[in-house]
Amino acid sequence: MKKYQSALWVALGLLLMLGLAGDGIQVLEKTEEKPEQGLDMPETPAPPQEYGLYAGISRELRYHLSAQDGRQGKKAPAMKRKDVYTFLQGPKSWEEKLPWSGEWCRFQVEGNPFGGFGCGLCCMANIYNTLSPYEVSPLDMFEYAKGVSDYAPAGEAGAIGWQDMADSLESCGFSVKLCRKPHVYKVFQKQMSKVKSAIVLVSSSEDDTFWQDTPGHYVNIWLYRAKDDMVFLAEPGDPDRNRTWIPLRYVYDALKTRSQYHYLLVESYEEEENQWKADGIQIEWNRPKEKTD
């Protein structure tokens, strides 16, 4: 009888132990903290959102994402004006050692100085450097465009044309669209709110509110702000207006309509589509030491 009682007590003890263990597991399951659905939990600290220009903005950017972040669907921080390259084309800026100027201003095509035709190439280099992980000079862009498009500059006509501009940027991994001025301003506004950047052809013969004595000139606009209808201007021909905010309406009104196209939209960049991937500016230039704007 005692043998059976002992066995019974052992069995009861085992059941009690199992019950306690089960209760313990249940308690852990109830108190364990779990992330909310859809919330990303990075394994490493998130990169800072502020980046310096020195040594190349986009080199720091890499779209601000690691490969793992990209797979998890994280969005890069919004681009800021400090991230934007804004090259200057002319010799006066270089002589005065202004930031963004460079020795490319001394380059000539059959007597036509770069300062007289290089505005479009400066805009293209701005786009390549700002939106890709690489860095090139406007003169590098000049040489590359000659090799991948029908661009054939001459002394009287050194400026790059619309289709050559589009072909060159597409070879660099950009999705672009050539456009003509819409009849309704709101259409233009909506386009600028959705794109990464745009190269626009302006002329004072269309409207001289902002640009004067300008028969035709490429400028580069960024960062459309719907709250005040402003854009950040990369103005390669005017250092005083370069890197300033201006009303988008000024651009729309001054679009040069006596041209095959009137502006080029940059919609996206795909690294795997980039056929160039050049990196490094060998020619002398005045790189901004600090980003204060």
Give the pLDDT confidence of 76-133 residue by residue, as tens digits.
568 889 999 999 999 999 999 999 999 999 999 999 999 999 999 999 999 999 999 9
Domain annotation covers residue 141: yes
- What mean pLDDT do residues 43-47 have? 33
Q: How far apart are CA 253 and CA 273, in angstroms?
A: 34
Enter the tokens of residue 56: 């190349």
Work out the pLDDT band at 291, boundaries 50, 70, 90: low
Domain annotation covers residue 51: no
* Terminal-residue alpha carbon distance, the chain: 92
The answer to which of 49-53, 75-79, 155-159 has the lowest mean pLDDT is: 49-53
Higher pLDDT, residue 245 or 41: 245
Work out the pLDDT band at 180, boundaries 50, 70, 90: very high
Which residue range is the domain that position 123 belongs to? 57-273
> Residue 29: its pLDDT value, please?
34
Opening angle at CA 16, ends 12 and 19, nearest 5: 140
Share of the chain above pLDDT 90, in %: 70
Q: Is the confidence at residue 287, as pLDDT, over 60?
A: yes
Work out the pLDDT band at 51, boundaries 50, 70, 90: very low
Name residue 4's amino acid: Y
> Residue 78: its pLDDT value, please?
80
Domain annotation covers residue 127: yes
> Residue 232: its pLDDT value, please?
98
Work out the pLDDT band at 260, boundaries 50, 70, 90: very high
Q: Is the confidence at residue 43, as pLDDT, over 50?
A: no
Q: Is the confidence at residue 23, as pLDDT, over 80?
A: no
> Residue 11: its pLDDT value, please?
52
CATH of residue 261's domain is 3.90.70.30
> Residue 289: its pLDDT value, please?
85
Domain annotation covers residue 288: no
Domain annotation covers residue 204: yes
Domain annotation covers residue 148: yes
Number of domains forming the structure of the chain: 1
Domain annotation covers residue 226: yes
- What mean pLDDT do residues 143-165 have? 95
Q: How far apart are CA 111 and CA 117, in angstroms?
A: 11
Domain annotation covers residue 43: no
> Residue 20: its pLDDT value, please?
42
Residue burial 245-279, b: 16+ Cβ < 10 Å; e: rest: ebebbbbbbbbbeeeebbbbbbeebeeeebebebe
Q: Is the confidence at residue 74, as pLDDT, over 90?
A: no
Q: What is the pLDDT of residues 194-251, one digit of tens each?
A: 999 999 999 999 999 999 999 999 999 999 999 999 999 999 999 999 999 999 999 9
> Residue 226: its pLDDT value, please?
97
- What mean pLDDT do residues 43-64 have? 35
Q: Is the confidence at residue 262, as pLDDT, over 70?
A: yes
> Residue 138: its pLDDT value, please?
98
Residue whose C-alpha is closest to residue 137's, from 196, 71, 87, 72: 87
- What mean pLDDT do residues 138-154 have? 97
